[in-house]
Structure 1
């Protein structure tokens, strides 16, 4: 393996501090060194790179273009090293903070009610739960694990399948006592269909799966989260297509009714997605094991 082309870490730390403060004096105070020592370290870095990082005037310094580029890079690199160091210290014996990127409705309806048992078994692990359903970026979102719906194709991650979805059509009970009750699929043409904005093909998948006629469709509101869709259906804004596990309470209470017996599998599944870079941390391994135990208990 070729030798790494790396300058002195002390020189890098000093340069980053001087660039951040725009002052050798303030950087020296932070690093607990003399001003002349800070200046010598930055000079040694410039000699190593064979280019100036600052323009120096009598009482003022300013980053060169190369200095601005390098200071941003070194600042981010030191942030990463610091974060990794804190992670290792906090992760001793399973301690530390586990950051979970959670789909809002899945988290509210399925995960949060189960988390007290995780905390009871692992009191030294703090939980940081973040609403997260966009593109998955562990570094940008600063999360350790995420729960996602899809097809299991997230790069640079450890992927554990959790569960598939059983999809059911639901509506307010008022629909069933109105002018056009849902006694057959054709009656859907008289009611607005509520859409999930991040799953635009959901209704198409349902129509194809059950063989229902789709000659006329009356679209209702398009909403971003399932909990919004649940409330919209309860309020009578239209007919909804929802995972059955999310609406067990509403079906039991009668707030929603399922007019059709058809239950179909949704086009995708839920996955626990863990950062490959953090997969060996104790808190991540403990949470993965616990999640898979929860899914096993549902089988």
Structure 2
């Protein structure tokens, strides 16, 4: 700490630098800090003079970090995040309530988490959940949350990833749609697919290849929660990610549109940043989610053995 105090003109310079780097603009940083842009510029210049190195390149449109500036910004961001986590934990201990933040798809949150919220509150009465929601395919950083659900191969230098299940996709529809359209043997073929706009593979092609039926119509949405909702309402056949639709398959509200599934080489994980303090409550929530998802898969396997899920072999 003594060396750091000597290397910096003041702690305010770190706060000012962090805001300027985060916004890429002195005026926006000034608004965040409730000071003038000139004050931000002076503080950054003072820090650069003290370190004898440029931290930004200036332009009319804003500022960009130099290589040295990026090194400092990354370190400060990790440090500030750790301080915020510590302050949050202190406050949680004081009031007896824990906050756990999750980065999830809107589909998973709507169709898996929400039906389980009562059970979650029984299991974790002192936990408040906060959600960072992703409308389309799961992607993006998990810097600002405790846990993020992502399809990745495993842990890396920055993330600790806990395996949930393989990526498994099953064509799904409502029981009424399956019966009325004769999927699996009656005379009238399924005619509509419900698609996610940025999904791979092509859902219509997968269903047609699996069932020998050509789909003549399609509905396309950018939000997977709506895709599943449309299937629940009997609007057509959708491709269901098992980790999202397992609850509805288990309940019988959705059914497989034929005995076919596709397992990709991607694997669903719940990931956390290694730099974040490892809070026991986050581990407990993670393990509860994985346990519930595993129970869903086991139940679906018992209901539809022809799918060949075999979750005990994952």
CA shift at 1:172, angstroms? Answer: 6.6
**Cα 1:8–1:51 shift into 2, 3 Å:** closer
CA shift at 1:89, angstroms? Answer: 3.0
3-state SS of paired residue (1:287): helix
TM-score normalised by structure 1 residue count: 0.63
* Superposition pairs of residues 1-299 of structure 1, within 5 angstroms: 8-11=7-10, 13-14=12-13, 17=16, 20=30, 21-22=35-36, 45=47, 48-50=50-52, 65=58, 78=76, 80-91=78-89, 96-132=98-134, 133-139=137-143, 142-148=144-150, 150=151, 152-153=153-154, 155=156, 156-164=158-166, 165=168, 167-171=170-174, 173=176, 176-177=179-180, 181-184=182-185, 188=189, 191-201=191-201, 202-208=203-209, 210=210, 212-213=211-212, 216-235=214-233, 237-242=235-240, 243=242, 245-248=246-249, 251-252=252-253, 260=258, 262-267=259-264, 268-278=266-276, 280-295=278-293, 297=295, 299=298
**Cα 1:223–1:246 shift into 2, 3 Å:** farther
3-state SS of paired residue (2:278): coil
Q: Contact 2:174–2:234 (CA<8 Å) still a contact in 1? A: yes
3-state SS of paired residue (1:84): helix
Which structure 2 segments of 5+ residues have no match?
18-25, 299-314
CA shift at 1:98, angstroms? Answer: 1.6
What is the number of equivalent residue pairs in this alignment?
261
Q: Contact 2:107–2:228 (CA<8 Å) still a contact in 1? A: no
Alpha-carbon deviations, 1:227-263, whole Å to 9, x = none? 32233335554333334524348745xxx66564x14
CA shift at 1:87, angstroms? Answer: 0.5
CA shift at 1:220, angstroms? Answer: 0.6
Which structure 1 segments of 5+ residues have no match?
28-38, 54-62
TM-score normalised by structure 2 residue count: 0.61
Structure 1 stretch displaced more, 279-288 or 87-96: 87-96
3-state SS of paired residue (1:86): helix
Larger radius of gyration: 1
Q: Contact 1:278–1:284 (CA<8 Å) still a contact in 2? A: no
Structure 1 stretch displaced more, 98-107 or 108-117: 108-117
Distance, in Å, in 1 between the alignment partners of 2:177 and 2:76 is 60
